[in-house]
Amino acid sequence: MKTLIIDTSHERSLIAFSEGVEILLTIPLPIGLQSSSHLFPAIESGFQKLKLNPEELEAVAVTVGPGSFTGIRVGVAAAKGIAAPRGLPLIRLSSLQGFLAEENGAALIDARIGGGFVLLPGGEPKLVSQEELPNVLEGRSVIIGPNLKRFSFPNQQERYPNPEVLIRNPLPPTGDDLNLLYLRETV
Is residue 177 within 8 A of residue 162, CB to CB? The reply is no
d(CA 55, CA 113): 42
**Residue 9 CB: number of other CB atoms within 10 A?**
33
2-95+161-168 has CATH 3.80.10.10 classification: no
d(CA 147, CA 54): 32
pLDDT tens digits for range 71-95: 999 999 999 999 999 999 999 999 9
pLDDT tens digits for range 39-61: 999 999 999 999 999 999 999 99
Cis peptide before 66 (omega within 30 of 0): yes
Answer with the residue of higher pLDDT: 96 or 176.
96
Is residue 76 within 8 A of residue 65, CB to CB? The reply is no
- Indicate the domain borders of the chain: 2-95+161-168, 99-158
d(CA 3, CA 17): 6
The pTM of the full predicted model, rounded to 2 decimals, is 0.94
